[in-house]
């Protein structure tokens, strides 16, 4: 990690600068505020690395203490891991509980997803036929680093900002996830070169080209930034995939992507978890990956997770 002096910061950024809000840690000209936020964030992330699962008696009806613990963890490291043994893997009860959990945390605006129910829940399981067949999340294949909904960005307030991922049934073998707080990625990149941040905040940094889905429905191209800062909160939109992604032709952005790939391959703050039944993660859409897995073969026993994605960000108050 390379320390950058204020003078070096100023000299490395040329041309129109894509910047965070004034008075926030993401203002590239406010070095003191950034340093204070950076030091607090790294200290909190190191403490969170050793944290366990928050035990929830009934996810649909969080106690004040349970809710405060979840939101404190999300404020600290953008994510919280929880377990709810009382659900016992029962699908209908779990679906109701996860819907209640989302509401209890203040999530109201759910993504428009063809597989989602009214409560925003999408089942993630292996699909060999139907509209989900052929899409990697519904297969046993590994999924490389990404944030959810990078392909459906509309505006800074119409992007996936939070997510719940709950394990109902795990795989026979494999399926471990990696998780990394986008704030940590921001810190690594800004410390290396603040121009990387400016390039990644460009409104056309990353474009997902138009495509037709399996049902023949057309989807227009989606262009937007990688880092989005609103007030004092950071969101990220990213995929490390190489196909069907168009990056802005800019040498600084290319260098930033190379640095980002190195962070995702080697950063010590990456957390690895293999979620067991009745366990889950609540997060502000952190970077994540999934390793390949071997599924169970008996009917109704395969790996199943419930996912909720929202345009709301998890806050610290009701």
Domain total of the chain: 1
Please indicate, yes or no, if residue 77 is contained in any of the structural domains.
yes
Handedness of CA 255, 222, 235, 309 (dihedral sign): negative
Q: Is the pLDDT of residue 199 over 70?
A: yes
Instruction: Report residue 64's pLDDT band, with 50, 70 and 90 as the boundaries.
Output: very high
CATH of the domain at 283: 3.60.130.10
pLDDT tens figures, 293-310: 999 988 889 999 999 999
Distance CA 305, CA 164 (A): 10
Q: What's the pLDDT at 318?
A: 39
pLDDT tens figures, 133-166: 667 888 999 999 999 999 999 999 899 999 999 9
> Which of the pair, 128 or 245, is modelled with greater confidence?
245
Place of tokens 């010590």: 268
Residues in the chain: 318
Calculate mean pLDDT across residues 213-237: 84
Please indicate, yes or no, if residue 218 is contained in any of the structural domains.
yes
Of these ranges, 128-132, 138-142, 164-168, 216-220, the one predicted with the greatest mean pLDDT is: 164-168
Calculate mean pLDDT across residues 201-205: 97
Question: Which two structure tokens, joined as six digits, stand for 101?
Answer: 């959990």
Distance CA 168, CA 95 (A): 9
pLDDT tens figures, 245-296: 999 999 999 999 999 999 999 999 999 999 999 999 999 999 999 999 999 9
Please indicate, yes or no, if residue 11 is contained in any of the structural domains.
no
**What's the half-sphere exposure (Cβ side, CA atoms, 13 Å) at 102?**
26
Handedness of CA 306, 310, 313, 318 (dihedral sign): negative
Q: Is the pLDDT of residue 92 over 50?
A: yes
Q: What's the pLDDT at 214?
A: 54
Please indicate, yes or no, if residue 5 is contained in any of the structural domains.
no
Please indicate, yes or no, if residue 6 is contained in any of the structural domains.
no
Q: What's the pLDDT at 114?
A: 59
State which residues form the domain around 192: 16-310
% of the chain surpassing 70 pLDDT: 88
Q: How many CB atoms lie within 10 A of CB 268?
A: 8
Strand 54-55 to 79-83 pairing? parallel
**What's the half-sphere exposure (Cβ side, CA atoms, 13 Å) at 10?**
5
Distance CA 80, CA 72 (A): 8
| 281 bridge partner residues | 81, 165
Handedness of CA 294, 295, 297, 298 (dihedral sign): positive
Please indicate, yes or no, if residue 4 is contained in any of the structural domains.
no
Please indicate, yes or no, if residue 317 is contained in any of the structural domains.
no
Lowest mean pLDDT among 8-22, 125-139, 210-224: 8-22
Q: What's the pLDDT at 3?
A: 32
Please indicate, yes or no, if residue 318 is contained in any of the structural domains.
no
């Amino acid at each position: 990690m390379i320390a950058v002096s204020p003078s070096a910061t100023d000299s490395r950024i040329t041309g129109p600068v894509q910047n965070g809000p004034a008075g926030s840690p993401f203002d590239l000209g406010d070095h003191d505020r950034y340093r204070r936020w950076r030091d607090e964030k790294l200290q909190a992330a190191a403490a969170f690395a050793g944290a366990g699962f928050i035990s929830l008696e009934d996810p649909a009806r969080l106690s004040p203490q349970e809710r405060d613990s979840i939101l404190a963890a999300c404020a600290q490291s953008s994510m919280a891991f929880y377990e709810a043994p009382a659900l016992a893997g029962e699908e209908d009860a779990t679906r109701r509980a996860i819907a209640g959990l989302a509401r209890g945390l203040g999530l109201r605006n759910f993504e428009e997803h063809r597989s989602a129910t009214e409560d925003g829940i999408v089942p993630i399981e292996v699909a060999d036929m139907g509209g989900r067949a052929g899409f990697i999340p519904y297969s046993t294949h590994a999924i490389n680093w990404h944030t959810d909904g990078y392909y459906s960005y509309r505006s800074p307030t119409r992007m996936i900002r939070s997510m719940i991922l709950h394990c109902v049934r795990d795989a026979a073998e494999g399926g471990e996830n990696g998780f990394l707080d986008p704030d940590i990625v921001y810190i690594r990149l800004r410390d290396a070169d603040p121009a990387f941040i400016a390039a990644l905040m460009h409104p056309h940094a990353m474009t997902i080209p138009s495509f037709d889905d399996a049902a023949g429905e057309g989807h227009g191209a989606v262009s937007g930034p990688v880092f989005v800062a609103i007030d004092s909160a950071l969101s990220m939109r990213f995929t490390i995939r190489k196909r069907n992604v168009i990056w802005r032709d800019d040498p600084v952005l290319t260098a930033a992507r190379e640095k980002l790939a190195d962070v995702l391959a080697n950063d010590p703050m990456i957390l690895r978890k293999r979620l067991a039944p009745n366990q889950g993660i609540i997060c502000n859409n952190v970077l994540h990956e999934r390793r390949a897995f071997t599924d169970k073969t008996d009917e109704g026993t395969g790996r199943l997770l419930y996912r909720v994605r929202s345009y709301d960000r998890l806050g610290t108050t009701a």
